[in-house]
Structure 1
Amino acid sequence: MDPTGAWDRAETEAFLERETIPIRLSCRTKGDDLWMLSLWYRYRDGALWCATSAEADVVDYLSHDDRVAFEISTNEPPYKGVRGNGTASVDSDPDKDLLKTLLERYLGGTDSPLAKRLLSPDRDEVRIRIDPDRVYTWDFSHRMAGSVPERE
């Protein structure tokens, strides 16, 4: 990944590893319509990894067309983030290892009612690997300095 924009590779990777903002993922349906969804993600080894149910519509869509666009950006000013495009691949995660990692990352553990429901043995889970082709970063911190309250 060689990003263009505000950050170099190290800054981009630090943002992706630090932030727990869902990734907004865009793909095409089998009818060639655009589709957007939000998923939890983890950045590792140059790829973005997401987990979802094997029954999710996006799994069907990606089997038809593996090209995707994505954005991971802050929701509060000063705005900053990473966007790009690439290809996605889907494979089974029978032990739900990635889902467990994402539950730890986003919820702090696997003991919540949501985690227990997602980890149910009756639910089949898949991993989505997004390999970025183009990555662009932006950081409006300098531009917005003095315009928004400081956040801790």
Structure 2
Amino acid sequence: MVEYNGAYDERDCAAFLDEAVVPMRVSTHRPDGSPWIVTLWYRYRDGVFECATRADAAIVDFLDRDDRVGIDVSTNTIPYRGVRGTGTVTIDPDEELEVLGALVDRYLGDRDHPLAQTLLDEDREEVCLRIDPDELFSWDYSERMEAA
């Protein structure tokens, strides 16, 4: 059961995460215990974040050792709004590039885009990182930044 705190309830949090087409920041730990942050495209479905990355990416190794993460999805322009929290990750193959394809559609809007062609190359070995949140904290500074 996800604990929601801050400006948004569950419904508003889901609406923000659906409309905010910004990358997610995911924090984890390297094997030596030092922190590591990566930026990934995401989609939020049925209360779970889904990201895609290459199967040989360093974060996959780090998450194999420790599946706990911190997450942040926030706007980079005024008014600042966002959701951050913690969760656990499950790693699954994305053999048909279904998750990656959905992310390309979400972020690029066109599979004919040169980056889309590179990402969706059939020889890519991709995995889906499914982040099941434990707690989500949201903020929305729209009112106090209205004049900015």
Percent identity over the alignment is 47
- SS in structure 2 of the partner of residue 3 of structure 1: strand
User: How far apart are residue 59 of structure 1 and its match?
Assistant: 0.5
TM-score, normalized by length of structure 2?
Answer: 0.97
Q: Take 1:121 and 1:141, find their aligned partners in 2: how far apart are those partners?
A: 43
Q: Take 1:73 and 1:57, find their aligned partners in 2: how far apart are those partners?
A: 24
Give the structure 2 partner of residue 60 of structure 1: 61
Letter in 2 for 1:45: D
Give the structure 1 partner of residue 48 of structure 2: 47
Moved over 6 A (4+): none
Letter in 2 for 1:82: V
Q: 1:81-92 alignment to 2 at 5 Å?
A: 81-92=82-93
CA deviation profile, 1:41-78 (whole Å, cap 9, x unmatched): 00001100000110111100000100000000000011
User: How far apart are residue 26 of structure 1 and its match?
Assistant: 0.2
User: How far apart are residue 112 of structure 1 and its match?
Assistant: 1.2
- SS in structure 2 of the partner of residue 20 of structure 1: coil
Give the structure 2 partner of residue 27 of structure 1: 28
1:122 aligns with 2:91: no
Q: Take 2:70 and 2:79, find their aligned partners in 1: how far apart are those partners?
A: 23
Query: Mind listing any 5+ residue stretches in structure 2 that lack a counterpart?
Result: none
RMSD: 0.8
Q: Take 2:63 and 2:30, find their aligned partners in 1: how far apart are those partners?
A: 8
Contact 1:2 1:8 in 2 (8 A): no
Q: Take 2:57 and 2:141, find their aligned partners in 1: how far apart are those partners?
A: 35
